[in-house]
Structure 1
Amino acid sequence: MRTFVAALPPNTKILVAFSGGSDSTSLLAALQAVVISGLRSDVDVIAATVDHGLRTESAEEAFAVGQFANQLGIPHSILRWEGEKPSASIQERAREARYGLLSRHAVDRGADLVLLAHTADDNRETLAMRRARDPDHAFGMVQSVLVDRRVWFHRPFLGLERAALRDYLESRALPWIEDPSNENPLFERVRIRQQLGRKPGFDIVHPCTRSALAHQAAAWLHANVTLHSTLAAEIDLTGFAFDDPAVMLGLTSVIAVIGGRPHRPGQEQQMRLGHMLRNNMPFRVSFGRCLIERRRHRLSVVREARGIDPVTIEPGTEKIWDGRFRIKNVGEVSAIIRDAGEGIALVAPLLDSGLGNRAQKAANAARPALATGSAEELTIEPILAPYDRFLPIDLLPLAATLAQKAGLSPFVAPPTPLLARF
């Protein structure tokens, strides 16, 4: 923690995500001890607890956690997950809500950085969960993630074991709370944790490995890809290295952006696409919500003009449409947004591109359009679906190049070189 704090820029304000468990308690306590030691008198620390409202006792626990933070001299806030709770995928939805609440609170309080208390144990569990879905998955958590394009979240204890953190708390006679949900086998992470306790864990590929791939993918994108906002992509296949993982990382990232998908196509889909490309023959195929067409040494990628759900945007709110555009309604009447097959298109059509007539027609038909409401009361901006919500720091070079190619604003830079070391 001393090493981390010493590397922070002047006058940094830190928000600690504080649940009261052993991991976040050790994080907050260690940070407070370093700051009050006089090492960095210009570093300001605040804390926040997210009350998910999933258990009757959660509000009382959040209050007690706040009292502990106040005893350490750290200002504390309780962030409540309001509204009706989902009946399925509860932990995943709670995670989404937690990150959203913390990122908004960080912006509201002027925090430069949010600290999370994930450990090496959490990392092994995450990798095991990902490998359960894709046996070839090699990457767990990274130490830093940009959330909602506005705030960096950092995990300074990701290389430490939970047992070491509990030893630290016991050495200082500091208490922590045991969340009963951590023992509930209904949750996937709990089952994985119990399984890992009975057998060796996984080796985790260091993020530097993927960072090198991301830099190579960014160079390939810069030289070979043209993006028309998030409507379409043109790709030069001259000298295409079919077996280069960096090239496949760049290509599948483009497909995810145009398809409005938060994740790139999986390993099996990538192998299917690679097989088609190796045949060196023209093809036209539906893939990842996209229409992909090869003509000689050119590949076009456009959003299929089907399966696009309409979205209602109430006055004073914003929503993501089709994973490709963020639309805000600043007016006083509701707006319904659908594809350009009906209504008034909200984005200019593609003209004079090298896509070919069929691809260009499909891209134009898949534009957002106003079915009801006032176009003058809407603001619209393209987004990069795989990276706008959560951007791992090791993929920043790739995402930055995609943003530049699509004509979007750059991503927020990490606040300290310590975060950018990948």
Structure 2
Amino acid sequence: MCNHQSGRAASSGVPLDAASFSALMASFGPFEDRPRLLVAVSGGADSMALAILAQQWCAERAGQVLAVTVDHGLRTEAADEARWVAGQLAQYGIEHVTLRWNGAKSGAAVQEMARAARYRLIDGLARDRGILHVLVAHHLNDQLETVAMRQSHDSGPVGRAGMSARRMLPHCRILRPLLPVSRRDIEATLQAVMPAGRRPVAGARGDQAGQAWITDPSNRNRAFERVRIRQHLQLPDGAGGQNDLAGLARVRCDVEGETGRFLARHVAIEADGVARIDSAALINTVAHCEGSVSTVKRDAVLYGMGHILRVVGGGHYAPARDSIVRCLDLMGERQAVRQSLGGCVIHRRENHILVYREFGRMPHTACPVVINAPTSWDNRFQLCLEIPENGGLPEDRDGFSIVPLGACDPFHKRVFRQRLARTVPFWANRPRLALASLPLLCWQDQPLSVAGLEIHALSDVLSAAGCPTDHLELFRAIRVTWRFAPSAPLWEGGFKFVANP
């Protein structure tokens, strides 16, 4: 059951009021008229306080708040806690929804998987409701713990600076307005709250003393690194280390700004998901590093390369920094070399470097297609297959699937690849395995469309290779739309403001 904590738990915190929270939100502006906010609420003190403060902030601007709780299915109490959160927030007029993660839950990385699922579900809800801003309740104590964890892992300057106050998801932006606020101040804020219709009672305890919250027992489980770090830090008020955080944030701003410039000037992501990089800008910066300015530029190139590999390889995270350094060092030693890293091939040519998906490391099993709705493939491409109700198509509408082009037999004919290159000229200079990692739409194992080629263009390519095309006539009425759609932008740092790093 829920472990509801009373207001007597905190002692010396300073409550946040509407003016102080408005000042925290100002750094994320400007917002639209009548702003709409989605607030992630677990029921803990931090997220409960954030939802209440956000409701007050929106009410002053004729806006709306929607609270969301994600039930990961990891604890039996989670469903009851979500219902409790809904009932508590209803006292403030806050709409609440519960989302459930139904994925597999096993292995040592279950917490990381749950976190990824949580953001994926929240992003989908924001998309469905047309909400652009999602508030999450990470606070100063969380930031200090994150910095300590990343320093113990020898992270680079961006990692050592901790969490950013904002982060981009595909359909919304994540905002962390409470990062400068200590846990004690947050708990004091809840103690000072009085829900509508409730009157203060002298000497009250439990739910009657301000707004109650839930304590997650996993916050005391030393099996998790963050819990061990928290107990070691022993900073209940979050007061220590703020000056250090400010210095780390300034360094991160410098590196992020330089990373954005490197990516904008020297990197292009093509429609087929292949990155083209100016090899001189990449290799020379990494090889020649002297002084603080050069160090910032070198760090920026390493971070930029990590994000390129994440986007092109369809990963959720960039490869380890040391792995990127070793790879680029080898690139600098040889004029023509191919390296595998992060599910990608890094292929140096005469005056540029290509980064493309590694065919041997991607799934080759058929991915079912959802008709008249987006289908994501390999965390890189998105297909929209639209079929009219009366298109005269075969009854087997479950026969559509996506596979890598390299898994298709015609691809292994030289004449097929030659005709592909003539149909899309810039493909003529693509390595064979870069083309092999393109998505192919099939119907009952028969090729219908390649990303970048509609059905009629593929028909010409198949005909030139002597392959049958009769099945294509059945599908002239359908609409196939491909787009390269990685789960995160190439560089979300470009959307941040220096004022709140």
Q: Same fold (TM over 0.5)?
A: yes
Please tell me whether residue 291 in structure 1 is matched to residue 291 in structure 2.
Answer: no
| TM-score for both structures, normalised by structure 1 | 0.79
Q: 1:352 to 1:252 in 2, by over 3 A?
A: farther
Q: Which residue of 2 aligns with 1:382?
A: 484
Q: 2:163 aligns with which of 132, 141, 154?
A: 141
Please tell me whether residue 176 in structure 1 is matched to residue 213 in structure 2.
Answer: yes
Give 1:162 deviation, angstroms.
Answer: 0.8
Counterparts of 1:7-406 in structure 2, within 5 Å, are 7=29, 8-36=31-59, 40-82=60-102, 85-136=105-156, 137-147=159-169, 149-172=170-193, 173-197=210-234, 203-204=244-245, 206-207=248-249, 209-238=251-280, 240-242=284-286, 243=289, 244-245=297-298, 246-279=300-333, 281-316=335-370, 320-327=376-383, 332-343=397-408, 349=420, 352-353=425-426, 360-370=431-441, 372-373=443-444, 375=448, 379-384=481-486, 387-388=488-489, 393-396=492-495
AA aligned opposite 2:50: L
Q: 1:263 to 1:102 in 2, by over 3 A?
A: closer
Q: 1:335 to 1:275 in 2, by over 3 A?
A: same
AA aligned opposite 1:286: S
Take 1:287 and 1:92, find their aligned partners in 2: how far apart are those partners? 21
Q: 1:334 to 1:88 in 2, by over 3 A?
A: farther
Take 2:138 and 2:369, find their aligned partners in 1: how far apart are those partners? 38
What is the aligned length? 392
Q: 1:201 to 1:372 in 2, by over 3 A?
A: farther
Contact 2:307 2:491 (8 Å CA) reproduced: no
Q: 1:130 to 1:380 in 2, by over 3 A?
A: farther
Query: Which structure would you say has the larger Rg?
Result: 2
Take 2:357 and 2:221, find their aligned partners in 1: how far apart are those partners? 41
Contact 2:260 2:493 (8 Å CA) reproduced: no
Contact 2:168 2:174 (8 Å CA) reproduced: yes
Q: 1:24 to 1:229 in 2, by over 3 A?
A: same
Contact 1:154 1:419 (8 Å CA) reproduced: no
Contact 2:260 2:491 (8 Å CA) reproduced: no
Give 1:134 deviation, angstroms.
Answer: 4.2
Superposed CA deviations along residues 246-270 of structure 1, whole A, max 9, x for unmatched, are 2333334333333333333322122
Q: Which residue of 1 aligns with 2:15?
A: none
Q: Which residue of 1 aligns with 2:457?
A: none
Superposed CA deviations along residues 298-335 of structure 1, whole A, max 9, x for unmatched, are 33333333122124433527554334323456673144
Superposed CA deviations along residues 381-407 of structure 1, whole A, max 9, x for unmatched, are 21335x24xx8853448xxxxxxxxxx
Take 2:128 and 2:316, find their aligned partners in 1: how far apart are those partners? 26
Secondary structure of 2:360's counterpart equals: coil
Q: 1:130 to 1:42 in 2, by over 3 A?
A: same
Contact 1:234 1:354 (8 Å CA) reproduced: no
Q: Which residue of 2 aligns with 1:414?
A: none
Q: 1:349 to 1:57 in 2, by over 3 A?
A: same
Take 1:258 and 1:392, find their aligned partners in 2: how far apart are those partners? 13
Identity %: 31
Secondary structure of 1:164's counterpart equals: helix
Give 1:349 deviation, angstroms.
Answer: 4.9
**Which runs of 5 or more residues in structure 1 are unaligned?**
398-417
Superposed CA deviations along residues 123-146 of structure 1, whole A, max 9, x for unmatched, are 222333444444444232111122
Contact 1:142 1:392 (8 Å CA) reproduced: no
Q: Which residue of 2 aligns with 1:409?
A: none
**Bigger fraction of residues in helix:** 2
Secondary structure of 2:361's counterpart equals: coil
Secondary structure of 1:241's counterpart equals: helix
Take 1:319 and 1:188, find their aligned partners in 2: how far apart are those partners? 36
Take 2:83 and 2:190, find their aligned partners in 1: how far apart are those partners? 21
Contact 2:132 2:171 (8 Å CA) reproduced: no
RMSD of aligned Cα (Å):
3.5
| TM-score for both structures, normalised by structure 2 | 0.68
Contact 1:16 1:116 (8 Å CA) reproduced: yes
Q: 1:105 to 1:419 in 2, by over 3 A?
A: farther
AA aligned opposite 1:168: T
Superposed CA deviations along residues 74-124 of structure 1, whole A, max 9, x for unmatched, are 222222334654454222222222222222223333333211111111122
Superposed CA deviations along residues 134-183 of structure 1, whole A, max 9, x for unmatched, are 44442321111222x11112111011111111122223322111111211
Q: Which moved more, 1:327-336 or 1:228-237?
A: 327-336
Contact 2:271 2:483 (8 Å CA) reproduced: no
Secondary structure of 1:10's counterpart equals: coil
AA aligned opposite 1:102: I
Contact 1:113 1:153 (8 Å CA) reproduced: yes
Q: 1:275 to 1:5 in 2, by over 3 A?
A: closer
Q: 1:86 to 1:201 in 2, by over 3 A?
A: farther
Take 2:54 and 2:150, find their aligned partners in 1: how far apart are those partners? 31
Take 2:338 and 2:191, find their aligned partners in 1: how far apart are those partners? 63
Q: 1:185 to 1:164 in 2, by over 3 A?
A: same
Take 1:33 and 1:227, find their aligned partners in 2: how far apart are those partners? 43
Contact 2:139 2:182 (8 Å CA) reproduced: yes
Contact 1:142 1:394 (8 Å CA) reproduced: no
Secondary structure of 1:384's counterpart equals: coil
